[in-house]
């Protein structure tokens, strides 16, 4: 039973994609928790509880860290194999490079449900 | 060679020419006297004297040092004494001959002039048989007075000119406005070193400050010393007086909590801008003559400084407006990027709705009910987001928000455009191969375009010409309705690859159906075409043989 953490401040726009994936490909067994801010997630060691981390770069304005900050924290805690970036920013690769961050798989919005499933199975 | 060196050389040459003419006059008048009057000595004595005089000048006329100069002066007096020996110096011609060295005094310089007047007076005393008749001496004293006054005036002019020279030299070597105040220190050092300082006109300056006069307020621009705070006392009254007379003395000002009244304010106006310069003169008394002398010195400096400051500030305004335009364009690009980001996010429900349609045929039967609920919900969200996307897209499509859209064109004369092209051309190329096939006067042909935008277009085109071609050529021709401009250059390479690439650029550019040119090959031409279109200027790229030709058709108005 895959368990995923989703860092996303506009999850309402993506909810149907995840519901569809869950219904069709996971028979409702997909468990996902959504965090609009970094502080909602709490201690970074909770990463271990999840199979995948889906990370948007733009989080809620009240978030202490943006997606880059969270990615940096995950990198320093463990490896980033679990991380998938979901973003509408077409320039994300350059931004990751300029910040010297590792490049996890990137899922660009609008997300196709089959791509989502494929990435979750990586 | 610097300008001052040229002036100095010209001055030296003119002095030498005057010196030669002066000696010719001495010889001419002397000979005339000898031939027309009875002489006391044997003729050969005069001949020897004249020959020695000529020989002396033959060898020393071009030399210039203090000893040679003194030798020349003594030779002049010796010849004059010889010619006039035992003659009546009350005869006008003789007296004129005697006065020649004093008349020539303006061409004397340095230590020699100190001897000139005693020698002249001494010679009158000797030749008049030790007479003390004042009428013989009076013209000499008058000439001394006139010459001294002229020396004084010339010195003032020289001093003033030296201040201007300081400004010219400083601004030709320093272009950074932040170091502008340093010129005040140079001026102050030069003014305070003036030989008249301390006795004749009490010229001593310890502060120069420059204010811009705006809305009846004096706002400090810069100064020779750092001024943390200041308050111009009776400011409105001072401004009124400055506007009436151009200057004001002893007007109080507080500089960093200290009051000063030893001030001279001078107003300068240029093209609608007003500047006020403050000179603090601690040792000066501002009597009528002194004030006039101070103005004589300082007004030209103020005018020059004002001119430099004014043009600097105008240039700054132009830079600021360019920065503002670029900032708007940058904002627009950033906003457009944000819009694209927004659109990608909002497309998610639409994409999901499409996914639902694709998946439905393979769906297991037991999931259909839940699938239907999901489809309904997704459709509603997709519709809502479609409306959001459309509204946001309006930002990009709205012309008035787009800084890349030209809002104005100005009616201009063709010679303005030609000058603009020539100016830009000179920044890129060392040659000017211009072919003008227009019979009408440029100043009689009106066209319309936006000057700033045309600059962007020209810089873009000329940079491409410089980068990708050679043998640049500009051609202007006219037909009854239009001015046609060709910017030609030869392709750097004659290979088929280069030619085909040029052809591809040309066909992309010239296509009216789809003139969006591939970014990698456009070399910025998308923007050029867009700008020209907006100015109602047709353009075309022609690739012929090995030539790349950019053609613009500008309608006459």
**pLDDT value of position B67:** 77
Task: Give the pLDDT band of residue B287 (cuts 50, 70, 90).
Answer: low
B205 has pLDDT over 80: yes
Report CB contact under 8 Å: B348, A112. no
B517 has pLDDT over 80: no
A116 has pLDDT over 90: yes
Among A14, A20, A110, whose Cβ lies nearest the Cβ of B356? A20
Comparing alpha-carbon positions, the chain A residue that sits nearest to B343 is A88
Closest CA–CA distance from residue B390 to any residue of chain A (Å): 16
The Cα B538–Cα B55 span in angstroms is 79
B3-7, B230-234, B440-444, B465-469: segment of lowest average pLDDT: B3-7
Closest CA–CA distance from residue B377 to any residue of chain A (Å): 8
Among A14, A88, A113, whose Cβ lies nearest the Cβ of B355? A113
A89 has pLDDT over 90: no
Closest CA–CA distance from residue A112 to any residue of chain B (Å): 6
Task: Give the pLDDT band of residue B202 (cuts 50, 70, 90).
Answer: low
Report CB contact under 8 Å: A16, B363. no
DSSP B361: G
- Residue A26 sits in a domain of what CATH number? 3.40.50.2300
**pLDDT value of position B197:** 46
Q: What is the mean pLDDT of residues B316-328?
A: 78
The Cα B265–Cα B239 span in angstroms is 10
Residues in chain B whose beta carbon is closer than 8 A to a beta carbon of chain A? 337, 340-353, 355-356, 359, 363, 367, 370-371, 374, 377-378, 381, 385
Q: What is the mean pLDDT of residues B388-413?
A: 75
Q: What is the mean pLDDT of residues B131-144?
A: 84
A98 has pLDDT over 90: no
Domain span at A48: 3-120
Which residues on chain B are in Cβ contact (under 8 Å) with A111? 348, 351
Beta bridge partners of B83: none
Task: Give the pLDDT band of residue B288 (cuts 50, 70, 90).
Answer: low
Which residues on chain A are in Cβ contact (under 8 Å) with B377? 16
Comparing alpha-carbon positions, the chain B residue that sits nearest to A87 is B345
B110 has pLDDT over 70: no
Task: Give the pLDDT band of residue B78 (cuts 50, 70, 90).
Answer: very high
Comparing alpha-carbon positions, the chain A residue that sits nearest to B375 is A16
Which residues on chain A are in Cβ contact (under 8 Å) with B357? none
pTM of this prediction? 0.57
B228 has pLDDT over 90: no
Report CB contact under 8 Å: A110, B359. no
Report CB contact under 8 Å: B347, A14. no
SS (H, E, C) B482-532: EEEEEEEEEECCCCHHHHHHHHHHHHHHHCCCCCCCCHHHHCCHHHHHHHH
CB atoms within 10 A of CB B247: 23
Task: Give the pLDDT band of residue A15 (cuts 50, 70, 90).
Answer: very high
A82-91, B93-102, B181-190, B280-289: segment of lowest average pLDDT: B280-289
The Cα B501–Cα B181 span in angstroms is 54
Closest CA–CA distance from residue B338 to any residue of chain A (Å): 9
B2-11, B21-30, B168-177, B262-271: segment of lowest average pLDDT: B2-11
User: Which residue in B383, B342, B350, B380 sits closest to A112, CA to CA?
Assistant: B350
Most confident of B188-197, B234-243, B284-293: B234-243
**Stretch (H or E) spanning B138:** helix B134-173
Q: What is the mean pLDDT of residues B489-502?
A: 84
Report CB contact under 8 Å: A108, B381. no
Comparing alpha-carbon positions, the chain A residue that sits nearest to B369 is A23
Report CB contact under 8 Å: B351, A112. yes
Q: How many domains does chain A have?
A: 1
Comparing alpha-carbon positions, the chain B residue that sits nearest to A111 is B348
**pLDDT value of position B16:** 79
**pLDDT value of position B63:** 65
B445: CB partners within 8 A, 6+ apart: B413, B414, B438, B478, B483, B556
The Cα B452–Cα A88 span in angstroms is 36
Report CB contact under 8 Å: A20, B367. no
Rg (CA), chain A: 14
B520 has pLDDT over 50: no
């Amino acid at each position: 039973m895959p368990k995923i953490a989703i860092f996303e401040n506009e999850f309402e726009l993506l909810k149907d994609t995840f519901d569809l994936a869950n219904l069709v490909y996971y028979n409702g067994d997909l468990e996902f928790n959504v965090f609009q801010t970094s502080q909602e997630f709490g201690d970074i060691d909770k990463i271990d509880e999840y199979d995948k981390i889906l990370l948007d770069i733009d989080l809620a304005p009240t978030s202490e860290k943006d997606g880059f900050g969270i990615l940096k924290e995950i990198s320093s805690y463990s490896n980033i194999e679990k991380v998938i970036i979901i973003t509408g920013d077409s320039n994300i690769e350059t931004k990751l490079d300029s910040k010297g961050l590792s490049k996890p798989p990137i899922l660009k919005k609008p997300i196709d449900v089959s791509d989502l499933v494929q990435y979750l199975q990586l | 060679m610097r300008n001052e060196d040229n002036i100095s050389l010209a001055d030296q040459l003119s002095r030498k020419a005057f010196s030669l003419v002066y000696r010719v006059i001495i010889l001419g008048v002397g000979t005339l006297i000898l031939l027309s009057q009875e002489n006391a000595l044997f003729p050969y004595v005069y001949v020897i004297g004249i020959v020695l005089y000529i020989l002396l000048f033959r060898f020393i006329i071009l030399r210039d040092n203090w000893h040679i100069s003194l030798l020349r002066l003594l030779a002049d007096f010796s010849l004059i004494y010889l010619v006039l020996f035992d003659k009546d110096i009350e005869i006008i011609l003789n007296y004129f001959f005697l006065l020649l060295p004093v008349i020539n005094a303006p061409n004397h310089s340095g230590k020699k002039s100190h001897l000139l007047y005693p020698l002249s007076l001494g010679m009158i005393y000797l030749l008049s048989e030790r007479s003390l008749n004042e009428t013989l001496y009076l013209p000499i004293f008058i000439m001394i007075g006139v010459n001294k006054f002229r020396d004084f005036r010339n010195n003032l002019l020289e001093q003033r000119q030296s201040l201007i020279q300081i400004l010219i030299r400083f601004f030709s070597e320093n272009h950074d406005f932040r170091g502008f105040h340093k010129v005040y220190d140079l001026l102050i050092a030069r003014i305070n070193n003036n030989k008249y300082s301390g006795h004749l006109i009490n010229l001593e300056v310890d502060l120069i400050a420059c204010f811009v006069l705006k809305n009846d307020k004096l706002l400090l621009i810069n100064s020779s010393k750092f001024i943390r705070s200041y308050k111009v006392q009776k400011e409105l009254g001072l401004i009124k007086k400055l506007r009436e007379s151009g200057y004001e003395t002893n007007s109080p000002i507080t500089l960093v909590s200290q009051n000063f009244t030893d001030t001279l304010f001078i107003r300068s106006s240029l093209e609608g801008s007003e500047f006020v310069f403050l000179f603090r003169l601690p040792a000066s008394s501002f009597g009528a003559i002194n004030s006039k002398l101070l103005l004589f010195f300082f007004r030209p400096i103020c005018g020059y400084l004002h001119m430099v400051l004014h043009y600097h500030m105008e240039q700054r305004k132009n830079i600021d407006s360019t920065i503002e335009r670029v900032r708007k364009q940058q904002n627009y690009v950033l906003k457009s990027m944000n819009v694209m980001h927004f659109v990608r996010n909002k497309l998610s429900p639409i994409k999901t709705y499409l996914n639902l349609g694709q998946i439905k045929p393979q769906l297991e039967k037991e999931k259909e009910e839940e699938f239907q609920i999901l489809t309904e919900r997704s459709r509603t969200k997709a519709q809502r987001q479609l409306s959001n996307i459309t509204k946001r897209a309006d930002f990009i499509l709205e012309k008035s928000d787009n800084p890349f859209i030209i809002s104005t064109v100005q009616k201009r004369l063709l010679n303005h455009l030609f000058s603009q092209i020539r100016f830009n051309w000179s920044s890129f190329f060392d040659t000017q191969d211009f072919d003008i096939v227009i019979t009408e006067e440029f100043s009689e042909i009106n066209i319309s375009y936006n000057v700033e935008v045309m600059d962007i277009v020209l810089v873009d085109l000329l940079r491409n010409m410089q980068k990708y071609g050679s043998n640049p050529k500009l051609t202007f021709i006219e037909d009854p309705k239009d001015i046609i401009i060709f910017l030609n250059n030869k392709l750097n390479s004659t290979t088929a690859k280069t030619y085909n690439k040029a052809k591809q650029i040309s066909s992309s550019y010239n296509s009216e159906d789809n003139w969006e040119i591939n970014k990698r090959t456009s070399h910025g031409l998308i923007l050029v075409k867009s700008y020209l279109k907006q100015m109602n200027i047709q353009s075309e790229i022609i690739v012929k043989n090995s030539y790349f030709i950019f053609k613009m058709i500008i309608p006459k108005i």
